[in-house]
Structures are given as C-alpha cells and as structure tokens.
C-alpha cells in the first residue's frame, strides 16, 4: 500500500461523475421517498418518545442524534438523518444512518439513492452502482428521475483503464545469499547404525552483496456497471551473487474479477482471482504454481476494521524434483484496520493442507498454518537540524508459518516427521524526494527452525535504494 495524498485525490476524481450526478438527484430522491402515499410503515410499533416527522424535520442535523434510540424502528427518521448528515459532509455517519433506514424498510428509493451517494463518496463505487441499478428496475420511479439516473449510469458506462506502475532498485548485503541450510552436520540412519556426516563448504551459507530489482504494473478496468476487472503483474530479481548461486528471478501475475452485492448486513464485494508464479534459480525453473481464490470483502460501514474471508487452491510444481509436487487447499481470514488516513494495519490468519501428487513424496501430505501482520504509517523522522523532519512511509511486517509432515521424510533420517517453523520480520522506511521518486531502505531477518536439520535456515538482509511510482 502506498499512502499518499495524490492517491486520495485520484480516488475522489474517479468517482466525481457518480457523486455529482447523485448530489443533483438527492433532494428529489428523498422527497420522493418521504412523500410516497403507498410507502410501507415501520414494521414494529414505534417507541413513545419518537416525535412526529413535523418535529424532527425542523431540527438541525447535529440535534437529531438525540432521538436515534427512540426512533430506532422508524425508517423515515434514519433516512432523513442520513440525508441531513450527507448535506453537511458527515459522509460515513450518513452511510450508517441510511443503511439503518434500509434495514428497517428496504423499499425507500430516496434512502437508496442517498445511500449510493454516500458509498460513492467514501470510495465504495461498485456498491453505489449496484444500488443505482436496483433503483432503475423499480416500476414506481418517476420518469423524469429515472431519466436522470440513466444519464448518471451512462457517465459510468464507458469502460476505461486506470494504471499504476512501480519500479525499484536497491543494493545491499545478505548473510545467506545462497539460502543454504544453517547446520554443520547431518545424521543418517543406515543399516549398520547412525552415521554423522559433515556438510561440505559449498553447501554452507555464504554472505555477500547483491542488487535487488522489482517492477510491477497494476491495471483496473472501470465503467462495467457495478463490476470491476483488474490485472497485476510483477517481476523481481536478485543479481550480483553468481559465484554462490544466489541469483534468482520471480514472475507473478493475477487476474481479478469483482462483483459488489448489496443485501443488508451481507453487503460487500465478491472477488474471484486467478494467478500464477514462476521462480528461476540462475537460468533454470525451480518452482511454479497456478491457483484460484474466492474472497468476500465485507463492507462494514462506520467500523475501523474491515474483514474478508477467502478460500482457494494452488497447484505447485517443482520441475527439477517432480516428486515434491503438491496441491495446497486453504482457507484464510483477513482484517484490515485503519484508525486514520495515515495508517493501516493488516492481519491475516490462514490454514490448509498441501496434498502430495506423488505417493512417494518425502513427508507425504503436509498441514500448514500462516500468520501475517503488517503495519504501514506515515511518520515524521527528525534528521539534521538544518533539514528538520522528513515525512516518510514506515512499514513493518511479521510473517510466521508452521508446516507439519504426515509421514517420515526419508528412511535415511529415521522415523522423523518434519515439523518446520519459519518467521520473517522486517521494516522499511521510504522518504519522497519528488512527486514520483522516493529513497529508502529495507531490513529483514529470516529464521527457520525444524526437527529436520536440512530445513534449518537463517538470513539477515539490508538494502538501500530508490523507487519510482506512477498512480
């Protein structure tokens, strides 16, 4: 995530046609919703302290909240409160009130339109368009209003791509460039008893310097009604470590289709993603995968944290060792919390099973559990007195994974079922030096511990570089 003021204004500009169109229609829409002679009354008896519409329609928005509990079952009150909050710029509070109105009485076209406007202003443009589509299907919409709504839809109907690009290069040092096991000996269980072997020097970790380069491109196709299509591609490489076998490249790509749904508390966005990865060591492919994931991004209005359950499957291939091939099926839960526009915290928990495609795979089937914790924040860091404070983006991340084999890994290692735990921790600090350029550093440590000494691993890395980003 790149937190920037420019990104904020880009999002505002993108939804301006929809917001402007809805703002022009909001007064007429609300009037239509309140004044409909056949509008359904609240489903339950109102609390006695809830005043009549003649009373609360004459009160400023900031004073209406005192009646919120008393008028809890009055859809028209919440619709009016939401419209007033929307008029004074309290968009998120307006969205919460309007959602409450539609939960009590979904058959309020005025509240639907105001709700669509609020969603568009807070960035949920897909959900806003989905609501507009529903309103257009209503038989009781006045022809003039329906014509205006159709024009708003036409503004959004022209498909267009929005692109984001990033390029980064950095130079640094690693303590284990060749990702070698961090152990000196290996014990084999032979027919005549256990034998301890020492590892050769070329199988041990080698430290050194290297260059890291990454390029990514993201594109989103807007104007497909409430639907959205996006493509992502990235290429990462590490070079300069040819003498120790540390050169590698990774290519990743994904295609995502998003469909908003509006159904009371189940409002959100369904997302179907197809993707793949390929990893080369030197010039040979060492790993590749293809997978599919289905995710539901839940829209919880007014809440600091959004959550998204998902499930998927990944087909994993090891061309140089086909017996290691497997299929990983998983379920995952993501929470993204943002207490202010300058910071965001992402927590993810996942688990699944890696099923062997070959019955002879070392270790057989494997279970896995994953944890990801990532925090990003704009901070000011004091530097030299003549320069003052530098405002930059600080990112800290923690990843932890635990995998357990169902079967012994190898007869030569005895009755050993591998149990491996890996932890990655790091942080980065990047400072903008111009509109599109920034400079910074990344520091990361890796620790992998296992009862199978083949999988023990340690590495520490420090890289400093420059980054170019185009929104």
The DSSP result for 383-414, as a single string, is: --TTT-EEEEEEEEEEEEEEEEESS-S-GGG-
∠ at Cα 211 (207, 212), nearest 5°?
110
User: What pLDDT was estimated at residue 200?
Assistant: 66
Summarize pLDDT for 327-354 with one digit per residue, the tens.
999 999 999 998 777 889 999 999 999 9
- Range name among 7-16, 98-107, 359-368 with the lowest pLDDT average: 7-16
CA 8/CA 14 separation, integer angstroms: 10
Q: Which CATH architecture describes the domain 161-470? A: Beta Barrel (2.40)
Instruction: Output the pLDDT for position 302.
Output: 60
Least confident of 88-102, 141-155, 433-447: 141-155
Whole-model pTM over 0.75: no
Residue 147 has a pLDDT of 66
- Specify the pLDDT at position 124: 74
Where do the structural domains in the chain lie, given as residue ranges? Answer: 5-157, 161-470
The whole-number pLDDT of residue 371 equals: 97
Provide the CA 399 distance to its chain's centre, in angstroms: 16
2 pLDDT above the threshold of 80: no
- Is 5-157 assigned to CATH 1.25.40? yes
Q: What confidence score (pLDDT) does residue 368 get?
A: 96
pLDDT for residue 5 is more than 60: no
Contacts 24+ apart (CB under 8 A), 324-330: 324/361, 324/362, 325/356, 325/357, 325/358, 325/361, 326/354, 326/355, 326/356, 326/357, 326/361, 326/366, 327/354, 327/355, 327/357, 328/291, 328/352, 328/353, 328/354, 328/355, 328/368, 329/353, 329/355, 330/368
pLDDT of 136-153, one tens digit each? 777 766 666 666 665 554
* pLDDT, mean of residues 195-212: 79
- Supply 114's token pair: 């105001």
Q: How far apart are CA 65 and CA 76, in angstroms?
A: 14
Residue with tokens 């503004």: 155
pLDDT digits (tens, 9 = 90+) for 319-328: 999 999 999 9
C-alpha of 194 from chain center: 49
9 pLDDT more than 50: no
Tokens 């500009």 belong to 13
- Whether 43 shows a pLDDT value over 50: the answer reads no
Number of other residues whose CB lies within 10 A of the CB of residue 165? 14
- Count Cβ atoms within 10 A of the Cβ of residue 118 and give its class: 0-12 exposed, 13-18 middle, 19 or more buried: buried
Specify the pLDDT at position 404.
96
Does the pLDDT value for residue 181 go beyond 90? Answer: no
Mean pLDDT of the chain: 80
How far is 245 from 206, CA to CA, in rounded Å? Answer: 10
Domains 5-157 and 161-470 share a fold: no
Instruction: Output the six-digit token pair for 273.
Output: 């993603």
């Amino acid at each position: 995530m790149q937190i920037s003021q420019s990104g904020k204004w880009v999002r505002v500009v993108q939804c301006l046609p929809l917001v402007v169109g809805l703002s022009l229609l909001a007064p007429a829409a609300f009037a239509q919703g309140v004044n409909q002679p056949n509008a359904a009354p609240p489903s339950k008896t109102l609390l006695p302290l809830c005043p009549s519409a003649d009373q609360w329609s004459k009160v400023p928005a900031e004073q209406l909240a005192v009646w919120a509990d008393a008028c809890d079952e009055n859809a028209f009150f919440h619709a009016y409160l939401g419209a007033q909050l929307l008029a004074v710029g309290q968009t998120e509070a307006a969205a919460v009130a309007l959602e409450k109105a539609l939960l009590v009485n979904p058959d309020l076209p005025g509240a639907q339109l105001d709700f669509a406007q609020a969603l568009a202003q807070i960035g949920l443009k897909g959900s806003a368009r989905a609501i507009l589509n529903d309103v257009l299907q209503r038989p009781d919409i006045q022809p003039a209003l329906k014509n205006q709504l159709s024009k708003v839809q036409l503004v959004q109907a022209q498909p267009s791509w929005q692109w984001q690009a990033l390029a980064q290069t950095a130079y640094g040092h690693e303590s284990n460039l060749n990702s070698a096991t961090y152990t000196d000996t290996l014990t084999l269980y032979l027919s005549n008893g256990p034998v301890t072997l020492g590892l050769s020097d070329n199988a041990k970790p080698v430290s050194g310097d290297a260059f890291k380069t990454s390029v990514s491109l993201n594109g989103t196709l807007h104007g497909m009604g409430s639907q959205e299509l996006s493509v992502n591609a990235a290429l990462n490489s590490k070079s300069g470590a040819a003498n120790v076998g540390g050169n590698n490249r990774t290519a990743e790509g994904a295609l995502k289709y998003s469909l908003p749904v509006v159904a009371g508390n189940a409002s959100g966005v369904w997302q179907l993603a197809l993707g793949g990865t390929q990893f080369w060591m030197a010039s040979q492919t060492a790993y590749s995968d293809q997978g599919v994931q289905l995710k539901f991004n839940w829209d919880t209005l007014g809440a600091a944290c959004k959550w998204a359950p998902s499930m998927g499957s990944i087909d994993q291939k090891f061309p140089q060792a086909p017996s290691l091939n497997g299929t990983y099926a998983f379920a995952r839960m993501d929470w993204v919390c943002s207490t202010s526009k300058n910071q965001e915290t992402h927590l993810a928990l996942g688990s699944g099973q890696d099923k062997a495609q070959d019955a002879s795979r070392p270790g057989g089937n494997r279970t896995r559990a994953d944890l990801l914790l990532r925090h990003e924040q704009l901070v000011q860091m004091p530097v030299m007195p003549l320069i003052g404070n530098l405002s930059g983006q600080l990112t800290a991340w923690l990843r932890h994974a635990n995998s357990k084999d169902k079967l012994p890994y190898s007869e030569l290692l005895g009755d050993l079922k591998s149990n491996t735990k890996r932890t990655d921790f790091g942080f980065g600090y990047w400072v903008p030096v111009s509109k599109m350029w920034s400079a910074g550093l990344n520091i990361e440590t890796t620790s992998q511990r296992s009862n199978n000494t083949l999988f023990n691993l340690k590495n520490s890395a420090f890289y400093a570089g420059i980054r170019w980003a185009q929104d």
